[in-house]
């Protein structure tokens, strides 16, 4: 009986261990990554990192729930790094207590303070601009500001995704930073009045709305242009992309709103040194060029060349405001979206 119970207990331990994605124990030469970024975006970089350093990269990908998972795992979490997008997700990770400061002279020399957490508890790795996609047929102007989006001349002509989406919350937070909450509320009411329909869908579908004549301008991130032009599985989207031009708002004054993808060093990282080595690789010239090109984004490090496709969209001036200030205003921005009933659409 005792031997049977012992064998059963041993088997249970083996099954439990095999169910884990990777081991918790310290193993030289490894780094464990939880990633909201899709595998095709990061696999080429991780392969190059392994080739250069010999450090094996283990990855778990999920569309949601990784921050909560790391919280639940606590000290027993095997995660060394969290890869994600948007200042909202990065600030959520730090607020959840799953991050620790990154201490690295290389990181501080490569990544501007604007794109790092106040205590280096998150590190920006690529940039994307929130731009206006304008119909080549129906929009003749070649410049615009975010403030212009509330002008009645755009009545019934704007397509945009939910105001509560993290990309738009960050944009609205930037408007609060520049103009104050009261002014931004009135601006948001003006934009709402100019919508062609209720906010719905992702950024690509807003461009489709312009292509279909549903609206004249759409709000979206720059990398979606690259995604539509190169998506072999959905070739019809190339026509959507070719129907619009990219206008970088406020290039003539404060600059275009910029957000980031980034990383968090896990509070209980079992391979901390290797995790920092990976961050330093991602912040290097080679890592920045590869990471930005694979998703048609902009490098964070100054002087790293843009991909040919990204260069074709033209130069722009990024808003220099710190993303830490944007993060602090996200709650106020989200509350304004609900206050004006933005997602209810133009006729409410």
Q: How many CA atoms lie within 13 A of 60 on its CB side?
A: 19
Distance separating alpha carbons of residues 320 and 339, to the nearest angstrom: 28
Mean pLDDT value across residues 305-325? 96
Annotated binding site: 223-224
Instruction: Give yes or no for residue 187 having a pLDDT over 90.
Output: yes
Q: Is residue 244 within 8 Å of residue 304, measured between CB atoms?
A: no
Do you know the residue count of the chain?
Answer: 348
β 81-85/298-299 pair status: unpaired
Compute the mean pLDDT over every residue in the chain, rounded to the nearest whole number.
92
Q: What is the pLDDT of residues 57-84, one digit of tens each?
A: 999 999 999 999 999 999 999 999 999 9
Q: Is residue 300 within 8 Å of residue 288, measured between CB atoms?
A: yes
Residue bearing tokens 């990024």: 318
Which of left, alpha, beta for 74 (phi over 0: left; psi -120 to 50: alpha)?
Answer: left
Percentage with pLDDT > 70 across the chain:
92
Q: What is the pLDDT of residues 239-250, one digit of tens each?
A: 999 999 999 999
pLDDT of residue 348: 57
Q: What is the pLDDT of residues 76-131, one digit of tens each?
A: 999 999 999 999 999 999 999 999 999 999 999 999 999 999 999 999 999 999 99
pLDDT of residue 20: 43
Q: Which regions of the chain carry the CATH code 3.40.190.10? A: 23-127+260-305, 128-257+316-344
Instruction: Give yes or no for residue 297 having a pLDDT over 50.
Output: yes
Mean pLDDT value across residues 154-174? 98
Q: How far is CA 141 from CA 45, 144, 153, 204, in A?
A: 39, 8, 13, 22
Instruction: Give yes or no for residue 19 having a pLDDT over 80.
Output: no
Annotated binding site for Fe cation: 223-224
pLDDT of residue 11: 33
CATH architecture of 128-257+316-344: 3-Layer(aba) Sandwich (3.40)
The token pair at 86 is: 């948007």
Instruction: Give yes or no for residue 346 having a pLDDT over 70.
Output: yes
CATH architecture of 23-127+260-305: 3-Layer(aba) Sandwich (3.40)
Query: Given pLDDT bands bounded at 50, 70 and 90, which one contains residue 347?
Result: confident
- 3-state SS, the chain, equals CHHHHHHHHHHHHHHHHHHCCCCCCCCCCEEEEEECCCHHHHHHHHHHHHHHHCCEEEEEECCCCHHHHHHHHHHHCCCCEEEEECHHHHHHHHHCCCECCCCCHHHHHHCCHHHECCCCCCEEEEEEEEEEEEECCCCCCCCCCCHHHHCHHHCCCEECCCCCCHHHHHHHHHHHHHHCHHHHHHHHHHHHHCECCCCCCCHHHHHHHHHCCCCCEEEEECHHHHHHHHCCCCCCHHHHHHCEEEECCCCCCCCECEEEEEEEEECCCCCHHHHHHHHHHHCCHHHHHHHHHHCCCEECCCCCCCCHHHHCCCCCCECCCCHHHHHHCHHHHHHHHHHCCHHHCCCC
Radius of gyration of the chain (CA): 22
pLDDT of residue 287: 97
User: Which of 156, 259, 168, 167 lies closest to 209, judged by CA?
Assistant: 156
Q: What is the pLDDT of residues 204-263, one digit of tens each?
A: 999 999 999 999 999 999 999 999 999 988 999 999 999 999 999 999 999 999 999 999
């Amino acid at each position: 009986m005792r031997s049977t119970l012992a064998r059963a207990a041993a088997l249970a331990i083996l099954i439990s261990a095999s169910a884990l994605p990777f081991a918790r124990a310290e193993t030289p030469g490894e780094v464990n990554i939880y990633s909201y970024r899709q595998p095709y975006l990061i696999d080429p970089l991780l392969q190059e990192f392994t080739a250069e350093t010999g450090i094996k990269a283990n990855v778990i990908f999920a569309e949601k729930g990784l921050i909560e998972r790391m919280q639940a795992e606590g000290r027993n979490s095997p995660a060394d790094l969290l890869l994600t997008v948007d200042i909202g997700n990065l600030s959520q990770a730090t607020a959840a207590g799953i991050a620790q400061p990154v201490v690295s002279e290389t990181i501080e020399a490569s990544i501007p303070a604007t794109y790092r957490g106040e205590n280096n508890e998150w590190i920006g790795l690529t940039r994307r601009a929130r731009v206006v996609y304008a119909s080549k047929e129906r929009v003749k102007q070649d410049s615009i500001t975010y403030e212009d989006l509330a002008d009645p001349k755009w009545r019934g002509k704007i397509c945009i995704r939910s105001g509560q989406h993290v990309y738009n919350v960050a944009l609205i937070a930037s408007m609060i930073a520049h103009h104050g909450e009261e002014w931004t509320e009135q601006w948001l009411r003006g934009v709402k009045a100019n919508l062609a329909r209720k906010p719905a869908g992702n950024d690509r579908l807003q461009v489709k709305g312009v292509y279909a004549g549903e609206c004249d301008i759409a709000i979206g991130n720059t990398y979606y242009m690259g995604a539509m032009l190169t998506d072999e599985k959905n070739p019809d989207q190339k026509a959507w992309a070719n129907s619009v031009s990219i206008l970088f708002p406020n290039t003539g004054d404060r600059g275009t709103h910029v957000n980031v993808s980034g990383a968090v060093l896990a509070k209980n990282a079992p391979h901390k040194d290797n995790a920092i080595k990976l961050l330093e690789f991602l912040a290097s010239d080679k890592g920045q060029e590869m990471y930005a090109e694979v998703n048609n984004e902009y490098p964070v490090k100054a002087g790293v060349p843009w991909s040919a496709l990204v260069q074709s969209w033209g130069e722009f001036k990024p808003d220099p405001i710190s993303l830490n200030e944007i993060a602090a205003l996200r709650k106020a921005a989200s509350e304004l979206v609900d206050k004006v009933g933005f997602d209810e659409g133009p006729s409410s």
